[in-house]
Each structure stands twice: as structure tokens, then as C-alpha cells.
């Protein structure tokens, strides 16, 4: 979970990058930053907190340039140290390199060790710096930027959507499985944008062209996009949790409307749960689209049982358990008249640790609900994610060590229904073989030490095969 954006245009880009990052804020709230390039100088500004708190008109004015990249961070690899706030900026042999990354490499340690052996000194604990080190090392050894990207993509393993700026030129590449989203858009006034989600394009008035393909690398100029298919996989492995929870509902990811997927999940869940109740309510906001689908398919009226304080962060992406607990209390307040004496269906996106569900059900019962039926828009999360999501240990996952019935008892729900795995895949509309479902099945699309791997081939294809976007 992180959000990234890059713009190259005929106009100053810092304000547009700030809006794009603000729109991607749901992907990371710990910190953010922007780097721009203007006449040989890289301007940079970054800090902790929300985008609206980091940037002011003055700081944005100081970020001069018609090319820039930005990042909002949720920490996965590397801690919350200031050094790990992106973009990272480097100078080497007269070049300036600024880079942002969404995803998680699974071979960071080996690569760090190898490059430290060659004399490279790392100043952060982030996997993104490893990507930068590989790119810089190739360029130092007289490789073209395209060749450096190809080499880098062959060496790094994991999920990655990367945007970098080298001497004011903008490049981007996406891992061969397309695990994390990345899309391309254009400005009618001249220029291009790449960003994690299409909502960032909408926010800045850009038009979506298409998704960056898995294994593709793009070199962007203000008037042209050069594309190379650097890596190829027998099938992609798009993260199912982008559709369930991570992405904004109004995004279109890999050609699929996230809102539509969530509504379909809700409709299928209504058939699978077959619960009788007085109202269908979302746990806002990520359960809302699924709840509308549930209500429409079941005929049980949609009524909001809980109102969200929109000025507190998403509980799941708060970095510590204590902060998550406090955030739930601050975040949701019941609508007493919709709850008292009623049988309530609560629709949520997922159960990870179970603490949030337990607390919300307790609040709804406290306000007089007769029954609380919990309907979950994902199958049980039973395994860790090594590819960019912060549920790293099996011990933390309530569904890893408890059956559905045991989880129901633990969260004190009247009933608990998860969408079936088949129902989820049907709602997304892609073949199961095109999805990463590692955290739901314990079987991953690439090699992770100690874990089971799906059979999926990844190869380098002709790096000089050019095609235009
Ligand atoms: S393991 Fe789960 S959260 Fe991680 S990339 Fe795969 S589907 Fe997404």
C-alpha cells in the first residue's frame, strides 16, 4: 500500500501532483513527498502526515518544473524513519535520479548484500533504494536507461509499480505479474500522467488512456510515450485486495470498475448468506458499495447504521494496534433510530485481526440492535502478504487459527458469512489464474521462501521490441 504519481507536461506540475496524491491518500497516510525537475535542478519536499498537511502554496510554488513525481507512503518494507519517506533523490556521475515505488520486493536482502559487496552504501532500509541502486549501477556502467530498466526488472522479484525521473526524463515500469496497479493518462494541454489509480487522473483533469501492462516499461515525453514490453508472464496476478478494499471504489483498475466489483460481491453475498434482517448497513466506507449490492439483491433496505467521522484515518492502515483501537472509537458513531430493536446486517470488506469487527459489533449492540449479522466481502484472510500489505504474520490473522464459527463467536456476531472464493472471482470477472490470491489461499504467484508457489512462468522478452502507446 502506497500511492505514486508522475507527470511530464507543458505546464508546472507540482500543484497537479499534490492533487493526484491527495486523491491517492487512502493508499498511505504516514508520509508523502514530491520531487520536480527544472533546468538541471531537482526540487524536493516531503514530510509526515496527510498531503494537505505537508504541502502549502509556498512549498508547492518552490517545487518548480514541468516534470515531477510524488508518493504517499504506508510503511511495509523499512520502518517509519524520515529517510524512508519518498521520493528518494540521488546524484551520481552528473545524473540526478528521483524514484517512487509502490509494492514490496521479496529479494531485497540478497540484493542489498550483493550491492553492499560492490561498495554501495544504503542510507535507508527501503527496498526502493535497492531498485535505485541497480538502475544507477547500470547507468554508471554505460548502459542505456532502457537497458538499465530491463536489467533491474530481471533482478528484482516481488510487486512493483515504479516511476522515476532521470535528468528530467520520466520513466515507469510495472512488475510482470501486474500485482500493483498503475495507469497512464494524458492532458489535453499537452503531457502525460502515470498514477496508481485512475481516480488520480480524474482529479487533475487527465483522461485515462490505459493501464500500464504487466512487465511493461514506458518512457514519457510531453508529447510522446515510448513503450517496451520488458518481461512477460504466462498470466498476470492482479492483487484481489485492490478490488476488495485497497483501491478507491471510483477507480478503474486493469479495465475493471472497482465499484462494480464490490456491488457484485454484495449481490452474490446476499445469495450466499440468505439472512433475514430489518436493514442492510455498510461499515463505511469500504463496505458501502458491497452493501448497496447486498440490499438490492436481498430486498432488505439499505440504511446506514454507522456514520463515519471523515477526518480520522482508515483503521487498517494505522501502523500500530494501539492507534488502530483508538481510531475505531473516534471513527464510527451509530444512528440510534436505525439500530434500536432492529436486526442489522453489517457489510464489511474483510476481517484481518478481528479487533475492529468486534468493537463495531459491540457498539451496534450497545445502541440496542437485536441481532448483528456480519457479511464480509472477502473470503477469510488466512495467510500473510509478502507483496505490499501489512498483514505479515499468520499469528495476527484471526482466520488463520480460527474457523468461521470461532471467529463469529470471537467478534460476537449473530451470524458471520464470507463471500465464497468462487463468488469473489466471479464478481471480479477475471479468471482465477489472473489474480493473486496468496492471502486467501496461502499459494503465491511467485517464489517466497517457505511458502507454496503457483505454477506461473515469468520470462524476459525481447527488450528492444518497441511499440507506441
Ligand atoms: S497476498 Fe493478498 S494482499 Fe498480498 S498481493 Fe496477493 S492478494 Fe494482494
Query: Cα 201 vs. chain centroid, distance in angstroms?
Result: 16
| pLDDT tens for each residue of 157-186 | 999 999 999 999 999 999 999 999 999 999
- The pLDDT, as a whole number, for residue 466 is 44
Where does the pLDDT of residue 393 fall: very low under 50, low under 70, confident under 90, or very high at 90 and above?
Answer: confident
Give percent of the chain with pLDDT exceeding 90.
81
Could you tell me if residue 6 is left (phi over 0), alpha (psi between -120 and 50 degrees) or otherwise beta? beta
- The pLDDT, as a whole number, for residue 388 is 86
Q: What is the mean pLDDT of residues 103-121?
A: 94
| pLDDT tens for each residue of 269-298 | 999 998 999 999 999 988 999 999 999 999
* Residue 325 pLDDT greater than 80, yes or no: no
* Residue 230 pLDDT greater than 70, yes or no: yes
- The pLDDT, as a whole number, for residue 464 is 43
Q: CATH number for the 2-234+459-468 domain, one of 3.60.20.10, 1.10.1740.10, 3.40.50.300, 3.40.50.1980? A: 3.60.20.10
* Residue 456 pLDDT greater than 80, yes or no: no
Give percent of the chain with pLDDT exceeding 70.
91
The length of the chain is 469
Q: CA 173, CA 150: separation in Å to the nearest integer?
A: 10
Q: CA 69, CA 166: separation in Å to the nearest integer?
A: 11
* Sign of the Cα pseudo-torsion (247, 27, 190, 89, in order): negative
Q: CA 292, CA 243: separation in Å to the nearest integer?
A: 16
Ligand 1, atom 2, lies closest to the CA of 439
- The pLDDT, as a whole number, for residue 460 is 54
Where does the pLDDT of residue 429 fall: very low under 50, low under 70, confident under 90, or very high at 90 and above?
Answer: very high
For β-strands 238-239 and 435-436, DSSP reports them as: parallel
Query: Is 18 a catalytic site residue?
Result: no
For β-strands 224-229 and 216-221, DSSP reports them as: antiparallel
C-alpha cell of 217? 516499461
3-state SS, residue 393:
coil
Ligand 1 center from residue 179 Cα (angstroms): 8
Q: Where are the alpha helices (DSSP H) in 87-171?
A: 108-117, 127-140, 145-155
- The pLDDT, as a whole number, for residue 314 is 53
Query: Cα 164 vs. chain centroid, distance in angstroms?
Result: 18
Q: What is the mean pLDDT of residues 345-362?
A: 94
Instruction: From 341, 347, 348, 351, select the one nearest 371 (Cα to Cα).
Output: 341
For β-strands 415-418 and 371-376, DSSP reports them as: parallel
Mean pLDDT of the chain: 91
Architecture of domain 246-444: 3-Layer(aba) Sandwich (3.40)
- The pLDDT, as a whole number, for residue 431 is 94
| pLDDT tens for each residue of 395-420 | 889 999 999 999 999 999 999 999 99
Per mean pLDDT, which of 1-5, 284-288, 453-457 is the most reliable?
A: 1-5
Where does the pLDDT of residue 81 fall: very low under 50, low under 70, confident under 90, or very high at 90 and above?
Answer: confident
C-alpha cell of 177? 505479474
Ligand 1 center from residue 406 Cα (angstroms): 24
Contact call for residues 66 and 9 (beta carbons, < 8 A): yes
3-state secondary structure 45-93: EEEECCHHHHCCHHHHHHCCCCEEEEEEECCCCCCCCHHHCCCEEEEEC
Ligand 1, atom 5, lies closest to the CA of 239
pTM of the model: 0.92
Inter-helix orientation angle 355-366/321-331, to 10°? 30
Contact call for residues 225 and 231 (beta carbons, < 8 A): no
Ligand 1-lining residues (CB < 6 angstroms): 179, 239-241, 385, 387, 389, 436-439
Where does the pLDDT of residue 319 fall: very low under 50, low under 70, confident under 90, or very high at 90 and above?
Answer: low
* Residue 249 pLDDT greater than 60, yes or no: yes
Where does the pLDDT of residue 462 fall: very low under 50, low under 70, confident under 90, or very high at 90 and above?
Answer: very low
- The pLDDT, as a whole number, for residue 447 is 87
Q: CA 469, CA 452: separation in Å to the nearest integer?
A: 36
Q: Which of 316, 400, 437 to mutate to test the pocket of ligand 1 (most atoms within 8 A of CB)?
A: 437
Where exactly are the structural domains of the chain?
A: 2-234+459-468, 246-444
Amino acid at each position: 500500500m502506497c500511492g505514486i504519481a508522475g507527470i511530464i507536461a507543458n505546464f508546472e506540475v507540482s500543484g497537479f501532483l499534490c492533487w493526484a496524491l491527495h486523491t491517492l491518500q487512502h493508499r498511505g497516510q504516514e508520509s508523502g513527498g514530491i520531487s520536480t525537475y527544472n533546468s538541471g535542478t531537482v526540487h524536493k519536499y516531503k514530510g509526515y502526515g496527510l498531503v494537505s498537511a505537508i504541502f502549502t502554496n509556498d512549498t508547492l510554488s518552490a517545487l518548480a518544473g514541468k516534470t515531477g513525481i510524488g508518493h504517499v507512503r504506508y510503511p511495509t518494507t523499512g520502518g517509519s524513519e524520515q529517510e524512508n519517506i519518498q521520493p528518494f533523490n540521488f546524484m551520481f556521475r552528473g545524473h540526478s535520479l528521483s524514484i517512487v515505488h509502490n509494492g514490496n520486493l521479496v529479494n531485497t536482502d540478497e540484493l542489498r548484500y550483493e550491492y553492499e559487496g560492490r561498495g554501495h552504501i544504503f542510507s535507508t532500509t527501503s527496498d526502493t533504494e535497492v531498485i535505485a541502486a541497480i538502475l544507477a549501477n547500470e547507468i554508471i556502467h554505460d548502459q542505456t536507461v532502457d537497458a538499465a530498466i530491463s536489467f533491474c526488472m530481471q533482478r528484482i522479484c516481488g510487486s512493483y509499480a515504479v516511476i522515476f525521473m532521470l535528468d528530467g526524463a520520466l520513466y515507469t515500469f510495472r512488475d510482470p505479474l501486474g500485482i500493483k496497479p498503475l495507469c497512464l493518462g494524458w492532458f489535453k494541454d499537452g503531457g502525460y500522467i502515470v498514477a496508481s489509480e485512475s481516480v488520480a487522473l480524474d482529479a487533475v483533469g487527465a483522461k485515462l488512456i490505459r493501464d500500464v501492462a504487466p512487465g511493461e516499461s514506458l518512457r514519457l515525453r510531453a508529447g510522446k510515450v515510448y513503450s517496451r514490453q520488458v518481461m512477460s508472464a504466462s498470466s498476470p496476478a492482479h492483487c484481489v485486495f485492490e478490488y476488495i478494499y485497497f483501491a478507491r471504489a471510483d477507480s478503474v483498475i486493469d479495465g475493471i470498475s472497482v465499484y462494480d466489483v464490490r456491488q457484485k460481491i454484495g449481490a452474490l453475498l446476499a445469495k450466499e448468506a440468505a439472512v433475514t434482517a430489518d436493514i442492510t448497513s455498510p461499515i463505511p466506507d469500504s463496505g458501502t458499495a458491497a452493501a448497496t449490492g447486498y440490499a438490492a439483491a436481498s430486498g432488505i433496505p439499505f440504511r446506514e447504521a454507522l456514520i463515519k467521522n471523515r477526518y480520522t484515518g482508515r483503521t487498517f492502515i494505522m501502523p500500530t494496534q494501539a492507534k488502530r483501537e483508538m481510531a475505531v472509537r473516534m471513527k464510527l458513531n451509530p444512528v440510534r433510530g436505525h439500530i434500536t430493536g432492529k436486526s442489522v446486517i453489517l457489510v464489511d470488506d474483510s476481517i484481518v485481526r478481528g479487533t475492529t469487527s468486534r468493537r463495531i459489533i459491540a457498539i451496534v449492540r450497545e445502541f440496542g440492535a437485536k441481532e448483528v449479522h456480519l457479511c464480509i466481502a472477502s473470503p477469510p484472510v488466512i495467510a500473510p502478504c509478502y507483496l505490499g500489505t501489512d498483514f505479515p504474520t499468520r499469528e495476527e490473522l484471526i482466520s488463520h487459527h480460527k474457523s468461521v464459527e470461532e471467529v463469529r463467536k470471537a467478534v460476537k456476531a449473530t451470524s458471520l458469512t464470507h463471500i465464497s472464493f468462487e463468488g469473489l472471482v466471479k464478481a471480479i470477472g477475471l479468471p482465477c489464474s489472473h489474480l493473486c490470491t496468496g492471502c486467501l489461499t496461502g499459494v503465491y504467484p511467485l517464489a517466497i521462501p517457505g511458502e507454496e508457489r503457483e505454477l506461473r512462468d515469468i520470462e524476459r522478452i525481447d527488450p528492444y521490441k518497441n511499440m507506441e502507446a
